[in-house]
Structure 1
């Protein structure tokens, strides 16, 4: 059977994939675009099968939406100002966006892309796909956007004794399928992990009267940073705090000068006084969260106190978005916290390395995701080229030029020289990608493989962790549309290589308490990142009225209305 042909294939129907389709078609209205997703519904991380009870975003109304499709007015979803957005509302919002923009008809669901083989002479890619009927077919596309993101493949550790457990072992991403039965029949569950989804799962079961034994690995990263929605002595909305230019200056950022404010960044990070001010800012921010949460007021809540200072964490920063006080459940004993390693499993029992054990009707795993795309990439001869495309992989020896790159980063940001003291017992979970790969993503602007920068045929979109998803997704979508269409200037190879090295390596030093060493993971640096992309596109970076507003008013989706139209006018 002859391969189906199209102009652009987007793999992934989440935040990044949908806005990419809209943006590309806005610029190329006659293009034949196809969106493939291996699950049954739209939404990516907000797909229908992932919406476990009580799931909400860390975002409140007005900050988690596309610029030109607000969640109010004609698109209202019943969310009031100051309310966190439920997961089912996000799913409905993305579905309605796709319908009204004519994108839903371009989507094919339950279609799994296994391989992408490069065609000769930059003619595109041929994809091998399996559909819901387990039928295999091929698609030839001139352009390919991989928008599967970092949270599409669930990771469950290889537990010793898993076959003898006699109870469900469920990843939080798959909890929706099991929640009804567990919530009606279980009397005790074990939640394993310290991330936001572990907090969500523990809360959901405890509020239903089911006792939770919450296990946070003694050999892990510890509990994630959980912040109240409003922080600092001034009670500022956290989401808007991280997108306020003045406050982004306190974060050392290798691409930070893209915002045009070189002097304050120089003052805060290149002078002794500035670094003292910067440390004080982060101490106040972190200490305020610890104080507001009252970790030290009870021996059980003290176990949930983060192990890494706030300065060093990234998108792992989460918000207490529960309708009642989470910590009451801990103080009352409805959630029992164990800082222990899991040794083995037996019949409905979880055994710790300390010799203790707890019974469980289910083991709920908040153990993260396989961040590398599940598909394989091949050259014209059928050989794998994942490494050439900047995908995580394992390689022996030192990274070429790493000493020079590190020296430049630490010279520009001396505050990073004294790295945080990580857990001395830290080990990766059995079967995790941390054990398999020792090289991180390496993509220009976190999107394009440097080796194929002049090919203009493939982009990796959404391989980035930040709490400012919509504004980042929009900027990436426009940037990649211009890039794929050869309507933006690509720097010389040496510049591409240097900037890719700096940006890739920077994550290791800046976000040692997050996942910056594996993939782009940042919080206060999202607006400067958008600035960098807009600057590449020769668009206006400063989008507020007046210097005072530019510095002290938070950025949000509404500030980027008309972005595509602005760019198109420059290319008419």
Structure 2
């Protein structure tokens, strides 16, 4: 088939690689000038690194370079994905600097894409192409959310600037300026650390404090040993608990709670949160109800040193101007000088290129994506999603979803009846509503149930790594490399003896 893929981030690249190896003709469109999605040079904020260590953020059959640090920088991650595209022959399939402005179904599962060149000498040129199937991989972090503050015109007239975090790509923009950073997630704290050495003032406006997990708990134990294992995932109750999980959430519940909340106690002591007045409400086990955040190196040290100021439990109510320049008024009555306001306030999960009637079938009444296995929209022929399964192991989850798509294109997935699939999606969303207090990004975040999703997707394909290897992942960090033969196994099932399938598991070249 001829398959169109919207998005050249990790999900789009993994989809293109697997489908190409399965014999399909693939075209990948992205409005950025380079691959990588959120890691594109046009979207990286200062100080950005991965939230998961490099081994856990790698694709199964293409390890990150040995000389990369454990938490690679944004530039290093982008270079890694660019090398992945080259290694697996995807470069000819890429249509970068090309925005998909409309995707329309034309019957029998086929789609027409209308595109517009976004850069170069042909900027503005429009084209139309038809595809047998379409994969949406534009990412759940595609459009930054910037609050609509009252007074923004007055604020900008006085010289103030309002920016999304992904639009703030150079710390020098903050030199000598009073900067307010809205948010308390990893990106907000990363930016605060990156600019605190050059800004005249760095203030973080936190509507709600979140629990932060140290990279090294107690200064020596890597957090991946606790939270990036199957045991760590099992500490959070899943919709369908299995095996030892039933003990953890039954007779062992007290032990389970002590295990996870002890991380919070260590964090309080390690970061001096009591002295800084920054202990979040609730307990560490509540992290999944807000956001599981890795602590930014240097953030709490900056607060201690006075180079970063956190205004907790408040919001900006109005942007304004005073005699000495632009200002921001906070809900607690404080007024702050604000030459630059950077909003690290999340993203909209949007598909504006799809027709309104298609979108009406895609969402439930609350705006959640109705996706079976986070992949298949219900009742929309020829359309798939990948990357709508944000997790600690996003590359691995995207790769396994690509296998599911390849199998479904070949008619090798035994789909349940439509009503059964709908019921499964409804139950999953209801469960995530409770597990995350509705903080699941309209149904696109699967943290902390990443490996449950992997197991369910592979279960549909009658594939998985051995029970013995999965058992080692209970106490050791999940290693995506353990899944490197899954593509080869699937392709052999779909087309025995095909040369492309036999070469799919070749040893990859390392960067550097």
Same fold, TM exceeding 0.5? yes
Report the alpha carbon displacement of residue 235 of structure 1 after superposing the two structures with TM. 5.3
The 1-side partners of 2:141 and 2:165 are apart by 12
Aligned to 2:426: 501
Measure how far apart 1:560 and its partner are. 0.9
2:257 maps to what in 1?
279
**SS of alignment partner, residue 236 of structure 2:** coil
Aligned to 2:33: 40
Alignment of 1:230 onto 2:203: no
Cα distance change of structure 1 residues 114 and 535 upon mapping to structure 2, 3 Å threshold: same
Contact 1:111 1:130 in 2 (8 A): yes
Unmatched 5+ stretches in structure 1? 1-5, 257-261, 379-383, 396-437
Alpha-carbon shift at residue 354 of structure 1 (Å): 3.5
Pair 1:524–1:52, CA change in 2 (3 A):
closer
Once residues 290 and 151 of structure 1 are traced to their aligned partners in structure 2, the CA distance between those partners, rounded to angstroms, is 30
RMSD, aligned CA = 2.2
Partner of 2:499: none
Partner SS, residue 48 of structure 1? coil
Distance 1:524 1:546 in 2: 17
2:223 and 2:352 map into 1 onto residues whose CA distance is 34
Matched, 1:469 2:442: no
Residue of structure 1 in register with 2:308 after alignment: 335
Which of 281, 286, 294 is equivalent to 1:312? Answer: 286
- Whether the 8 Å CA contact 1:542–1:550 is kept in 2: the answer is no
CA contact (8 A) 1:443 1:500 kept: yes
Tell me what 2:147 maps to: 157
Paired residues of 2:30 and 2:96 also in contact (CA < 8 A): yes
TM-score, normalization: structure 1? Answer: 0.79
Taking the TM superposition and a 5 Å limit, the aligned residue runs for 1:394-433 are 395=365
> Does 1:128 pair with 2:114?
yes
- Bigger CA drift: 313-322 or 161-170? 313-322
Q: Deviations over 1:18-55 (max 9, x none)?
A: 01100111112xx2210011222211000111223222
Partners of 1:500 and 1:281 lie apart in 2 by: 31
User: Which stretch shows the higher mean deviation, 186-195 or 501-510?
Assistant: 186-195
Which one of 63, 79, 87 corresponds to residue 68 of structure 2?
79
Cα pair 2:12 2:137 within 8 Å, conserved: yes
Partner SS state of residue 181, structure 1: helix
Q: Secondary structure at the match of 1:21?
A: helix
- Distance verdict in 2 for CA 1:228–1:539, change over 3 Å: same
After the TM superposition, which residues 452-491 of structure 1 pair with which residues of structure 2 at under 5 Å, given as runs? Answer: 452=380, 455=381, 457-491=382-416
Residue by residue, what CA displacement relative to the aligned partner does 1:501-536 show, whole Å, maximum 9, x if unpaired?
Answer: 111221101111x62272232333111211111111
Work out which of the residue numbers 228, 239, 251 in structure 2 matches 1:243.
228
Cα distance in structure 1, aligned partners of 2:205 and 2:310: 6
Counterpart for residue 424 of structure 1: none
Cα shift readout 1:285-333 (whole Å, capped 9, x = no counterpart): 333323322200x2xx323x333433233382122342xx322211222
Structure-1 separation of matches of 2:205 and 2:230: 38
Q: Is the 8 A contact 1:466 1:522 kept in 2?
A: yes
- Quote how far apart the aligned CAs of 1:266 are: 2.4
Equivalent position SS for 1:67: coil
Aligned position for 1:289: 267
1:99 aligns with 2:99: no
The reply on whether 1:252 has 2:237 as its aligned counterpart is yes
Q: CA shift at 1:553, angstroms? A: 2.7
Q: Superposition pairs for residues 477-556 of structure 1, below 5 Å?
A: 477-512=402-437, 515-516=439-440, 518-542=442-466, 544-545=468-469, 547=471, 549=472, 551-556=474-479
Partner of 2:167: 174
Pairwise mapping of residues 18-57 of structure 1 onto structure 2 (< 5 A)? Answer: 18-28=13-23, 31-57=24-50
Equivalent in the alignment of 2:2? 7
3-state SS in 2 of match to 1:464:
coil
For 2:271 and 2:185, locate their aligned partners in 1 and report how far apart those are by CA, in whole Å: 16
Is 1:16 matched up with 2:11? yes
Does 1:357 pair with 2:335?
A: yes
Separation in 2, partners of 1:388, 1:541: 35
Separation of aligned partners in 2, 1:464 and 1:540: 19
Structure 2 vs 1, CA of residues 209 and 112 (structure 1 numbering), >3 Å: closer, same or farther?
Answer: closer
Equivalent residues of 1:508, 1:517 under 8 A apart: no
Distance 2:478 2:68 in 1: 21
| Cα distance in 1 for residues equivalent to 2:352 and 2:184 | 25
Where 1:58 maps in the other structure, the secondary structure is coil
Distance 1:234 1:197, change over 3 A: closer
Which residue number corresponds to residue 507 of structure 2?
none
Does the aligned pair in 2 maintain the 1:543–1:559 contact within 8 Å? no
Change (3 A) 1:53 1:546: closer
Matched with 1:266 is 246
Separation (CA, whole Å) in 1 of partners of 2:117 and 2:58: 31
CA contact (8 A) 1:227 1:289 kept: yes
Q: Is the 8 A contact 1:58 1:321 kept in 2?
A: no
Q: Is the 8 A contact 1:161 1:345 kept in 2?
A: yes
- Tell me, in whole angstroms, the C-alpha distance in 2 between the residues paired with 1:35 and 1:140: 13
Q: Distance in 1 between matches of 2:211 and 2:446?
A: 14
Q: What TM-score do you get using the length of structure 2 for normalisation?
A: 0.88
Q: What runs of 5+ residues in structure 2 fail to find an aligned partner?
A: 497-512
Query: Could you tell me which residue of structure 2 aligns to residue 148 of structure 1?
Result: 138
Please give the per-residue CA displacement for 1:394-416, whole angstroms capped at 9, x wherever unaligned: x4xxxxxxxxxxxxxxxxxxxxx
Alignment match of 2:483 (pick from 553, 560, 570)? 560
| Equivalent pair of 2:464/2:486 in contact (CA under 8 Å) | no
SS of the residue 1:316 aligns to: coil
How many angstroms apart in 2 are the aligned matches of 1:374 and 1:310?
Answer: 37
Deviation at 1:377, TM superposition (A): 2.8
